[in-house]
Amino acid sequence: MRTRRIAGLAAAVTAMALSALIFAITREGKPPPIEAATAPAPKPQGESRLYCEFYNFAGRTPKVGFYFAKPAGEGAAYGQLFQREADGSQTLFDERPIWTYDRSGEVPTLRAPDGAIQINLYGDGGANGHQPDAGGWFEAGLRSIQYLNLDGQCRRTES
């Protein structure tokens, strides 16, 4: 009789531990954002930054990230500081490729110099001039042949 109680108790403890392990493995969580480069070029006073990252189709892991700088003032250009891929490789640009920022359409867009990549800044509010809070993430979409169409997010920071 005592052996049955011990066996039953051991079976219950094993079932609870297995349930906790399965829960820990299968629970959904937001993917961690790609971290910005450790030390891009020092930014001039008044320059604002824009970081965008885009996720694979399941929306679980970052596939590519772009980091831009816009000089102070009302220009329509952003210089690309770096680009980070899902495998951790990163391209730093000494001479910043200039991306155009267009607010004339329904959605503000950033376009690569060669036109191969377009970033739609859905939550930017660029048409009415209202920007999200500094450091706040907003919705964006990547359109390109290389990366296909990916959903993502961007955030602005001020110097």
Q: What pLDDT score was predicted for residue 126?
A: 47
Biggest alpha carbon–alpha carbon distance for the chain: 83
Q: What is the pTM of this model?
A: 0.65
Mean of the pLDDT values across residues 65-94? 87
User: Does residue 72 register a pLDDT over 90?
Assistant: no
DSSP class per residue in 37-101: PS-PPPPPTT-EEEEEEEE-TTSSSEEEEEEEEE-SSS-SEEEEEEEEETTS-EEE-SSPPEEEE
pLDDT digits (tens, 9 = 90+) for 85-102: 988 899 999 899 999 998
Q: What pLDDT score was predicted for residue 52?
A: 93
Confidence bin at 105 (pLDDT 50/70/90): confident
